[in-house]
Homo-oligomer: A and B are copies of this chain.
Amino acid sequence: MRCRQEEIELFKYLKNVPLDRAQQDYMETLMQNGMGLKTETIPVQEAAGRITAAPVYARICAPHYNASAMDGIALDAKLTFGASETTPVTLAEEQYKQLNTGDPLPGGCDAVIMIEDVIEAGDGTVNLYQAAAPWQHIRQIGEDICAGEIIMLSYSKVTPSALGAMIAGGVTEISVIKRPIVGIIPTGDEIVPPTSDPKEGDILEFNSAIFSAMLKDWGAETVIFPIVTDNLEKICEALVAALKQCDVVILNAGSSAGSEDFAADAIASVGTVLHHGLAIKPGKPAILGYSKDKPILGVPGYPVSGIIVIEQLLRPIIEFLCKSGYDAARYTDAVLSKSVVSTLKYQEFVRVRMGYVGERLIASPLSRGSGVVTSFMKADGIIEVPQGVEGFESGSTVAVRLLRPEAELKNSLVVIGSHDPLLDELAELLRIEYGDVSMGSAHVGSMGGLMAIRRGEAHVAGTHLLDVETGEYNSAFIRKLLPNGGVRLVECVKRTQGIIVQKGNPKGITGIAGLAQQELRYVNRQKGSGTRILIDYLCSKDGIDTSKIYGYDREEFTHTSVAALIAADSADAGLGVFSAAKLYNLDFIPVCEEQYDLLIPEHAWELPMVQKLIDVLKSSAFKKRLDNLGGYELENPGTLREIF
C-alpha cells in the first residue's frame, strides 16, 4: 500500500496556472534564454515550401539577353519604315537574320518580324508589307527580373513559381529557416510498440505517432526515441541524449505527480521546470521545462491531454522557430445540441462534431474522456469553456474553434439516434459513391434521435421504438412526440434482436428469464435507447425484477460495445442485434424481430446529401453489405412508411 501522506505531499506541486499566463511565461523565458531562428543554405531546387531566411536577390536578369519572342526574322526596324500593303519593303539576305523563339537578338537588330508576315521573294530576298516597331516581338533583358532586384523577401514561403523565378534569376542556393527538430521520448513500463496482439496491461505506443504527425504539419522535423522505462536515471539519460540532437524535446507521460511520475524530476535535473500544472482540462499535468534555449515539455500520457498540451504550448513555439505564418484560429458560432458542464477551476476543451441542419450550425459534444483518441479524429471543432464558467446549456449559441474548413460542414450529414452497425456501412457507401458527403453519427438512442429531430438538430435519426399496445414500430412514438408532423419515415431494415452470449453459451441462457441468475454479468444499453426500452418491456412482461440482474446499470452506447465486452469475458450477456454477435463470433439467442427505420425532417428531405443517402439505401451494394453483416431482412429500404 502506498503512503497517502506522500501522495498529498507530491500533489501539492501540481499548480493550476492559467493557460494564457503559462504560454506567455514560456515563450518569454525561452526567448530570454536565446531561443531563436536557425538558418541553413540549400540548393534552390530543394527549397519548395521552405521559408526564406534572408531576401533573395537576382544574380542575373531574366531574360539575361534580348531574346526573340517569336519564330521569324530579326532586323533593324528602321529598314522597314514606310512599308505598307501597297509599297512593300524588299530586304536582301544580309539585311535580316532568321531566328527561332528564344534565340538571341543579333547585333544591329532591334525588331523581330513573325515568320507569317515574311513573304519570300526569291534569292533570299523577302518582302515586308508592314513597318516594324522598334523592340517588337523581343523579350528584352530584365523583362521579368532585373539583376540585383529582390526576388523574394525574408520570411516568405517558397512557392512553385517563386522557385522558377529564383532559378530564372540565376540563384542556385538560398538561405532558409532550418526546421526545428523535435525529439519525442515515450516513457512507461507498460508502453509497448504498436502491434495487433498486445498482452493485457500493455499500452500501445501511439502517442508519438500522433505528436510527430502534428509537429510535421506545423513545419518541424521529428525524431521518435525508443521507449524508456519508468526509471529516473534512464529518463535523464534519454533527455540528455535528445537535447544533444534536437531543438525541442517532448517527454511523454509521467508528467503528473504520482509515485511513478518521474518527468518533472528528470526535467529539473537536466534543466529547469518553469511551471508544473495548468488550469486546463484535459491537460492539467503538463510540465513546462527547458534547458538553456531548448524547450522540454512534459506531456500527459492520455492522448487527448497530450494533443491539447502540445497544441497549446508547443505549437506557438514551433511556428515561431519555423517562422511560418501563424495560422490564426478560425471560430464560428454553433448551436449546442447537448449541455456542456464544465468545472470552474479549469479552462476546458470540448471536442464537437458539427453540421448544418437547416440554417443552423449544430455542434454535438463528443466523448470527453482523455483516453478517447477517436474523439479528436471525429471532431470538427473545439469549444473552449473559459476558466470560471460552469458550461453552456443545450440550445445555446457558442463559439467553436474550427478544425476543418467550414465549407466541408455543409456536406456533413448529421445522424443522431439509435445505433446499428449498418450506419458504418451507410457512411462507407456514401463515401465511395459520393466522395463529398461525410456522415457523422451520434449514438444517443432512438428517443434521443426523435428529440434531436424535434429540436431541428439532425438530418436523420435511426429509430426502432415499439409501441407495446399496438405492436407498431416507430410511427406511434412519432405521432406522440412529433404531433405536427413535418417528418418522413424511411423504411430501412428488419433486424433480429436477441441475447448475445459467449461462444458455446457457457451460462446456458435460453431467454430473458435466465438473465437474473446469480453469477451472471449482464451489460445493458443506455436509457432512452430502443434496445433498453425493449429489454425493460420484456422484463416487465415476464415479471422479472431488473434490480436482480447484476450489471443492469452498466450502460454501453452501441451494440458493438456490448458484444465487445462479452467477447472479452468482461460480461456474460447483453441484448443486441445479431450482426454485433456475429462480428465477435458470439452465440445469439433470438428474441424478436424489429423494424429499424430512418426519420428525416421535411426541411432536409430535398438536400442532395439526403437524397444520396436514400439512393444508397435502395442500392444493391447496401443489400450485399447487410447480407455480410447478417441478421437483417431488407424489404423496401428507402421507401416511405406511413406515419399518420
Contacts of A431 in B (CB 8 A): 153-156
Contact mask A304-324 → B, CB, 8 Å, 1/0? 000100000000000000010
Query: What sequence of 0s and 1s flags, for each residue 267-278 of chain A, a beta carbon within 8 Å of any chain B beta carbon?
Result: 000000000000
A92 to chain B, nearest CB (A): 12
What's the interface size class on A, roughly? 35 or more
A48 interfacial by beta-carbon distance below 8 Å:
yes
Q: Smallest Cβ distance from A417 to chain B, in angstroms?
A: 18
**A585 → chain B, closest Cβ, in Å?**
10
Q: Is A620 an interface position by the 8 A CB rule?
A: no
Cβ contact within 8 Å between B210 and A163? yes
Query: Judging by beta carbons under 8 Å apart, are A102 and B190 in contact?
Result: yes
Contact B560 A141 (CB under 8 A): no
**A 545-598 contacts with B by CB, 8 A:** 551, 553-554, 556, 558, 560-561, 563-565, 567-568, 570, 583-584
For A405, the closest partner residue in chain B by CB is B327
If A144-B374, A201-B104, A428-B153 touch, whether A435 touches B165 (CB-CB below 8 Å) is: no
A590 to chain B, nearest CB (A): 21
* Complex Cα–Cα for A209 and B551 (A): 65
CA gap between A435 and B327 in the complex, in Å = 12
Majority SS of interface residues in chain A? loop
Complex Cα distance A145/B303, Å?
A: 14
A172 close to B (CB within 8 Å): yes
Q: Residue A45 contacts which of B60, B209, B259, B325 (CB distance < 8 angstroms)?
A: B209
- A432 interface residue (CB < 8 Å to B): yes
Contacts of A359 in B (CB 8 A): none
Inside 8 A of A427's CB, which chain B residues have their CB?
150, 153
**Do B120 and A372 have beta carbons less than 8 Å apart?**
no
Q: How many copies does the complex hold?
A: 2
Residue A61, interface by CB 8 Å: yes
Encode contact with B along A157-168: 1 for CB under 8 Å, 0 otherwise: 001111111011
A576 to chain B, nearest CB (A): 12
A343 close to chain B: CB less than 8 A: no
Residue of B nearest to A439 (CB): B153
- With A and B bound together, what is the CA distance between A124 and B44 in angstroms? 70
Closest B-chain residue to A303, C-beta based? B164
A98 to B2, CA, bound (A): 8
Contact of A570 among B1, B66, B118 (CB under 8 A): B66
Contact B64 A163 (CB under 8 A): no
Q: Which of B1, B144, B151, B214 contacts A126 (CB 8 A)?
A: B1
Of the candidates B147, B150, B373, the one whose C-beta lies within 8 Å of that of A428 is B150
Asked if A632 is at the interface of the complex by the 8 Å CB criterion, the answer is: no
Indicate with 1 or 0, residue by residue over A536-547, a CB within 8 angstroms of chain B CB atoms: 000000000000
Q: What B residues does A558 contact at CB under 8 A?
A: 146
Do A146 and B201 touch across chains, with their CB atoms under 8 A apart?
no
Q: Is the CB of B209 within 8 A of A163?
A: yes
Does A148 lie at the interface of the complex (its beta carbon under 8 Å from any beta carbon of B)?
yes
Residues of A21-45 at the interface with B, using a CB-CB cut-off of 8 Å, are 44-45
Assess the B564–A61 pair: CB atoms within 8 A.
Answer: yes
- Given the known interface contacts A45-B194, A146-B564, A201-B104, the answer about A165 and B325 at a Cβ–Cβ threshold of 8 Å is no
A528 at the interface (CB under 8 A from B): no
Quote the shortest CB–CB distance from A526 to chain B (angstroms): 13
Contacting pair A148 B61 (CB below 8 A): no
Q: Please tell me which stretch of A132-140, A178-186, A497-505 contacts chain B, meaning at least 4 of its Cβ atoms lie within 8 angstroms of it.
A: A132-140
Q: Are A373's CB and B100's CB within 8 A? A: no
Q: A residues bordering B, Cβ < 8 Å?
A: 1-4, 7-8, 11, 44-45, 48-49, 55, 59-67, 69, 71, 93, 98, 100-104, 115-116, 118-120, 124, 126, 134-135, 139-151, 153-156, 159-165, 167-168, 170-172, 188, 190, 194-198, 200-201, 203-207, 209-214, 216-217, 258-260, 301, 303, 307, 323, 325, 328, 367, 369, 371-374, 376-377, 407, 421, 424, 427-428, 431-432, 435-436, 551, 553-554, 556, 558, 560-561, 563-565, 567-568, 570, 583-584
Q: Could you name 19 residue pairs across A and B whose Cβ atoms are closer than 8 Å?
A: A1-B126, A2-B115, A4-B116, A61-B564, A67-B201, A102-B203, A134-B554, A141-B568, A144-B371, A145-B374, A146-B558, A148-B583, A149-B560, A159-B377, A163-B213, A164-B206, A165-B374, A167-B204, A325-B436
